[in-house]
A and B are shown apart, each in its own frame.
Chain A
């Protein structure tokens, strides 16, 4: 299970990397065409926003798996290691609660985008495309946090190696 979720997170990160390069390329092309030929790419803003959704949200699961989130670890210096392990589990549970609630409550707005066929103003890009990317990133993040929770609980119970 861990392997599958890690692989999914890695795959999403790779897709995000393609979109990141796309953002760079689109900006450069737009500036070049506007400056050189007075012919900017129509709807660049909307495409960039779509790409940003992928860049910012599809990489969140892998960021979690790499322990990239910011937490204040000040308490580590004043409490014994087993308390730190307990707090780590508590922190991960909070993240899971946050992401779980977020995923659940993001579904309805996404369904609304489909039901009302909402599109962007210039290029008529369906808003569900962007919402789908964001929802996918947050939902897989939930699974990634489950992996971290299992690891943290195992560390707490067995006193395994600390991440």
Chain B
């Protein structure tokens, strides 16, 4: 059996184990170990296997727990509520103001929390009850929260971007910079989507009361905490003051100080944040150990090289290959979790994408956008299940129907990224490459 055939069987085995409810880290690790052994023998496979965990504590990995801690503290200390009030002030007076405010607040909060699920969970509690109170249609209310939640993994600092950077051995600062414009653009597209939906279905959104400018400004100033954390976390990296790990450390420290100073954050909250951070980091690390073993196996199979050969043989245009990969990701995103998609597919597809002449940083952003789509599409659509878990009286179908218009916005962003890669590459070029 050739290594490439073993690689193909390995992929099938991984998908099978995953669907049989085997936790992802173990599924990837076991398939990687057995596959590697079939190619290179058990002795070598066990050496690689046994040394993998020791290689995963490189300095670059330390950014993960620190950003997760910052997000956990920001989530628990009431910053999200203040952000929602501020964003609402910005859109007050427009029909559809509250869903638009939800998108704005999700963009701001997602930037700090770095997690789509945390953002969706937080704003399900804050925004949906408020929208229901004012008589917004449940499809629009839940759709805006589910879609807004996805902004968290695109706008920096993003945990998913860090995981991609580690898997692809790319620069975290460059990826953060690359996600900025597409993230803000997607937030704007979501706002435009709400505007269009409300124009077509005015009965879905009641008219909103106007707010005097002095009140708007007062509400907007409440955003200073998140602005400060964002400035430390992202601004510090862009200006070259901090490395990503230092930025994450300083920003999480600032988040803790601000949280305690606000008076809405107890010592119990603090311990809960530490526990949450540790469990999330540990869960990620377990998956990463399995994914690294799996990646060693993929390299041994020469599967990526085989893919490049196939593409050359078929003489497909690079854009056609990227479109095929995107379709594959969208299908995968419907059934697999985002971290797993990135860790499983990067070793396979990245060499092909680079061989086609694409920038790996651009590909990272494109991949994150497509993975985002998976977060709001059935049957997995984790953001939707997060909303449903908190609001069991809302039908799952209602949430899915509410999502449809926002998927169009995602499609527009993917199209724009394909046609204008500069949307992702301009900022890294200006900040780091020129």
Query: Which residue numbers of A lie inside 8 Å of B, CB to CB?
Result: 13, 16-17, 20-21, 23-28, 30-31, 35, 45, 48-53, 55-57, 59-60, 62-63, 66, 68-77, 84, 87-88, 90-91, 94-95, 97-99, 101-102, 104-109, 130-131, 134, 138, 141
Contacts and interface: CB of A to CB of B under 8 A. Distances in A.
Contact of A16 (B21, B250, B278): B278
B30 interface: yes
Contacts of A75: 19-21
B27 interface: yes
Interface string B266-283: 000001001101111111
Contacts of A99: 26
A91 B66 CA distance: 30
Given A57-B53, A72-B18, A72-B336, A20 B23 contact: no
A56 to B, nearest CB: 4
Given A49-B58, A72-B18, A56 B253 contact: no
A30 B66 CA distance: 15
Contacts of A131: 54
A74 B335 contact: yes
Interface of B: 17-27, 29-30, 33, 46-47, 49-51, 53-54, 56-59, 61-62, 64-66, 69, 241-242, 245-246, 248-250, 252-253, 256, 271, 274-275, 277-283, 285-287, 289-290, 335-337, 339-340, 379-380
Contacts of A51: 62
B373 to A, nearest CB: 17
B22 A55 contact: no
B249 A17 contact: no
A82 B59 CA distance: 45
Contacts of A28: 249-250, 253
Contacts of A35: 241
Given A24-B252, A72-B380, A87-B21, 10 more contacts: A17-B271, A31-B241, A49-B59, A52-B65, A55-B281, A60-B282, A66-B279, A72-B337, A107-B50, A109-B54
B57 A130 contact: yes
15 contacts: A27-B66, A52-B57, A52-B61, A56-B57, A60-B282, A63-B286, A70-B25, A75-B19, A84-B21, A90-B22, A91-B22, A91-B26, A94-B23, A95-B25, A104-B50
Given A27-B246, A70-B283, A95-B26, A55 B54 contact: no
A129 B215 CA distance: 57
A41 B176 CA distance: 27
Contact of A53 (B57, B66, B246, B278): B57
B23 A71 contact: yes
Nearest to B285: A56
Given A30-B246, A70-B337, A20 B62 contact: no
B50 A102 contact: yes
A48 B17 contact: no
A31 to B, nearest CB: 5
